[in-house]
């Protein structure tokens, strides 16, 4: 199973770009990388997913280098409401086979 | 509204008293899963189910049982709860497997305290 490592916490200010990196040195060929956001008293919520290179949606970008041993979630111009825990999930999900492994999460605190 | 519903949201009980946490989804998802979340340990998978009558162990299955008799429901059963099962539990579902992981939809959690 791919083990993931993330920073425990990060601090930022409103309007700044935040980059959170997740290390997954033994990622398997079929594994995808998914990021979730979690607010207190709520379940995690999907942000973005990718396999390689760069993926962008309306809320974030995901950068994955060619060796896929790490990935970086980029949040442009964060606001106070982006204060949350961010989880990196690596693995694959197929019929009869699941290797999904969550990281321990990064607590992002955005200050005014 | 598409959602994953867990019940109860909070429960305080005693060691050895069997309990069931229900999970239901209204999105016709094939895949369902249970996680527990503990401080400093993040989310750990307990059991998952690829479809009706198909269940498999996750990373921390000891002390838990599950069943998947219907597509929409995936109850988590603690036959003889112990204090080390005090935790925050999440149920999740997704559209299925195939060759691309589908994003999981999570419930709002069930906080269990076993005294």
Q: Tell the burial category of A102 from Cβ atoms under 10 Å away from its Cβ (0-12, 13-18, 19+).
A: buried
Selected residues 10-49 of chain A with any CB under 8 Å from a CB in chain B: 32, 34, 36, 41-46, 49
Min distance B33 CA to chain A CA atoms (Å): 11
Q: From the CA of B107, how many Å to the nearest CA of chain A? A: 6
Closest partner CB to B48 (pick from A45, A98, A104) = A98
Residue numbers of B between 63 and 102 with CB closer than 8 Å to A: 90, 92, 94, 97-102
Residue A21's pLDDT band (boundaries 50, 70, 90)?
very high
Residues linked to residue A79 through DSSP beta bridges, in sequence order: none
Chain A CB contacts of B35 below 8 Å: 102
- What are the distances in angstroms from CA A42 to CA B5, B37, B84? 12, 12, 22
How many residues can be counted in chain B? 115
**Distance (Å) from the alpha carbon of B16 to chain A's nearest alpha carbon:** 27
What tokens does A12 get?
Answer: 């930022």
- Using one digit for the tens of pLDDT, what is the confidence trace for B26-69? 999 988 999 999 988 888 999 999 889 989 998 899 999 999 99
Q: How far apart, in Å, are the Cα atoms of B60 and each of A5, A95, B36, B65, B114?
A: 19, 20, 9, 11, 17
Neighbours of B24 (CB within 10 A): 18
How far apart (Å, rounded) are the C-alpha atoms in residues A29 and B7?
Answer: 38
Is B107 an interface residue toward A (CB < 8 Å)? yes
The torsion angle over the Cα atoms of residues B106, A4, A22 and B30, rounded to 10 degrees, is -30
Note the pLDDT of residue B99. 46
Q: What are phi and psi of A27, to 5 degrees?
A: -60, 140
Structure token pair of residue A71: 């990935």
* Range of weakest confidence among A24-33, A57-66, B30-39: A24-33
Average pLDDT, stretch B85-114?
86
Most confident stretch, A22-26, B5-9, B41-45, B51-55: B5-9
């Amino acid at each position: 199973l791919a083990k993931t490592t993330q920073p425990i916490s990060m601090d930022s200010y409103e309007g700044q770009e935040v980059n959170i990196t997740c290390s997954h040195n033994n990622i398997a060929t079929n594994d995808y990388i998914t990021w979730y956001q979690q607010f207190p008293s709520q379940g995690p919520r999907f942000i973005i997913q990718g396999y390689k290179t760069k993926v962008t949606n309306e809320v974030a970008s995901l950068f994955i280098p060619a060796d896929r041993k790490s990935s970086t979630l980029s949040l442009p111009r964060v606001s106070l409401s982006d204060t949350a825990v961010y989880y990196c999930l690596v693995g694959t999900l197929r019929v009869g086979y699941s290797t999904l492994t969550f990281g321990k999460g990064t607590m992002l605190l955005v200050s005014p | 509204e598409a959602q994953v519903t867990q019940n109860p949201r909070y429960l305080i009980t005693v060691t050895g008293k069997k309990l069931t946490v229900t999970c239901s989804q209204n999105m016709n998802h094939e895949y369902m899963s249970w996680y527990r979340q503990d401080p400093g340990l993040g989310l750990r998978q307990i059991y998952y189910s690829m479809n009706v009558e198909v269940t498999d162990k996750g990373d921390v299955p000891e002390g838990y049982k599950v069943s998947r008799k219907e597509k929409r429901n995936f109850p988590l059963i603690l036959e003889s709860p112990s204090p080390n099962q005090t935790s925050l539990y999440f149920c999740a579902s997704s559209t299925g497997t195939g060759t691309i992981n589908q994003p999981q939809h999570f419930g709002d959690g069930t906080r269990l305290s076993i005294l």
